[in-house]
Amino acid sequence: MVSLKTATLSRCSAGTLHPPTNMSAAMCAFILTLSSALGPTVVSGVLSAPTHVRLTSYNMNLVLMWDSPEGPASSIVYTTEYKSSVAVSFNKVGCLNISNLECDLSHLNISIFQYGKYMGRVRAQSGTESSAWTESNQITLDKDTIIGSPDVSLSSNGAAIEVSIKDPVFMISALREVYHSATYNITYWQHGQREKARSNSNIQQNRVVLNDLDPWTKYCVQVQIITEWNPSKPSAAVCESTTSEEEAPWVAAGVTFGIVAISVALVVVTVVYRKHISHFLCPKDALPQHFKEYLLAPPNSSMYLAMRNSHPPDEIYNQVSIIADGRTLEEGQPLEAAGSSCSKQPDTT
């Protein structure tokens, strides 16, 4: 019916420019009258307006969508405008001369307020012809947006399952900023027994441990976000198996025992070999105080270089060899470290 009407109309409108070839003008007039009585008014020579114009929001975006106007027309482009509810007229331009049937207003570099009320309109253009504007519904962003499902992941820990929830990403703002009282409704059930599902609602944390579960059992979990307006789409059900009830405490005990055993062994070794260790770190023969100071002082660069490049004077060299109790200090050894730890230690002999 529609395509017949369309075809007839286009031939009629062509007939207004050229003499009708196979249809009389009277016939055309009759059909035009008939079709305007039956369907939406289509005026020949004027581009009809886009239809089914709707403003939608998913995860706080703002998208205007429409259907192409009825009737044949080639190379139609669309222009959109929008306004917030407080504005009298459509004072903001959305997309200009686009050929697709939607315009993502929230993607444009325009400020959209998370609690704002918006309305859009669209018109079609083809060549020099413009259609009338078609207005959309009005939406209130936070109230009408469709909240996507949260992302849920599970990890089993013995006979408990930890549920981690990630909020959907919003185009404008964030879930917790838009919906201050958002909570999670966590539904879980034994795999294959959905009808016996249990729910924990009013949950605010995004990590929750389910611990009233049977060991060695597969559970499935689904989460929905509850807000003061619409609830979110429920997440896909994800499943995970619990393991032995004892496993987690046993593993923890094993790790703790290992750490304690290593610590005790270290303490015993330290006590038993205390003398050897302190001898190693602090040779019995102490350096004369003035020489310690000399060694600890940062090397005077010219003297240091002279000592490196030529044979040092005998007196200094002899004094260096005093501290060597079975080993000699070599160039580049950490003198400061050995010296400072010894000077602080009480004499153990």
Q: Taking CB under 6 A as the rule, does residue 96 contact ligand NAG?
A: yes
Q: In whole angstroms, how close is the CB of 219 to ligand NAG at the nearest point? A: 15
Residue 185 pairs with which residues in a beta bridge? Answer: 224
Q: Contact at 8 Å (CB) between 152 and 210?
A: no
Residue span 273-302 as binding mask against ligand NAG, x where in contact by CB under 6 A, dash where not: ------------------------------
Q: Contact at 8 Å (CB) between 22 and 6?
A: no
Q: Which is nearer to ligand NAG, 133 or 291 (CB)?
A: 133
**What burial class does residue 89 get, using C-beta atoms within 10 Å of its C-beta: 0-12 exposed, 13-18 middle, 19+ buried?**
exposed
Q: In whole angstroms, how close is the CB of 108 to ligand NAG at the nearest point? A: 9
Q: Which is nearer to ligand NAG, 78 or 118 (CB)?
A: 78
Largest CA distance in the chain: 132
Q: Which is nearer to ligand NAG, 138 or 183 (CB)?
A: 183
Q: Contact at 8 Å (CB) between 84 and 117?
A: yes
Q: Taking CB under 6 A as the rule, does residue 337 contact ligand NAG?
A: no
Q: Taking CB under 6 A as the rule, does residue 97 contact ligand NAG?
A: yes
Q: In whole angstroms, how close is the CB of 89 to ligand NAG at the nearest point? A: 20
Strand, helix or coil for residue 174: coil
Q: Contact at 8 Å (CB) between 142 and 179?
A: yes
Kindly list the strands in the beta sheet with 63-67, ordered across the sheet, starting from the edge strand earlier in the chain: 51-56, 63-67, 102-104
Q: Which is nearer to ligand NAG, 146 or 248 (CB)?
A: 146
Residues 201-220 interacting with ligand NAG (rule: CB under 6 A): 201
Q: Taking CB under 6 A as the rule, does residue 185 contact ligand NAG?
A: yes
Q: Taking CB under 6 A as the rule, does residue 226 contact ligand NAG?
A: yes
Q: In whole angstroms, how close is the CB of 77 to ligand NAG at the nearest point? A: 6
Q: Taking CB under 6 A as the rule, does residue 199 contact ligand NAG?
A: yes
Q: Taking CB under 6 A as the rule, does residue 125 contact ligand NAG?
A: yes
Q: In whole angstroms, how close is the CB of 34 to ligand NAG at the nearest point? A: 32
Q: Taking CB under 6 A as the rule, does residue 145 contact ligand NAG?
A: no
CA-closest candidate to residue 142, choices 57, 234, 204, 53: 57
β-strand pairing of 218-226 with 238-241: antiparallel
Is the four-CA dihedral 72, 75, 78, 79 of positive or negative sign? negative
Where does this chain bind ligand NAG (CB under 6 A)?
96-97, 109, 125, 185, 187, 199, 201, 224, 226
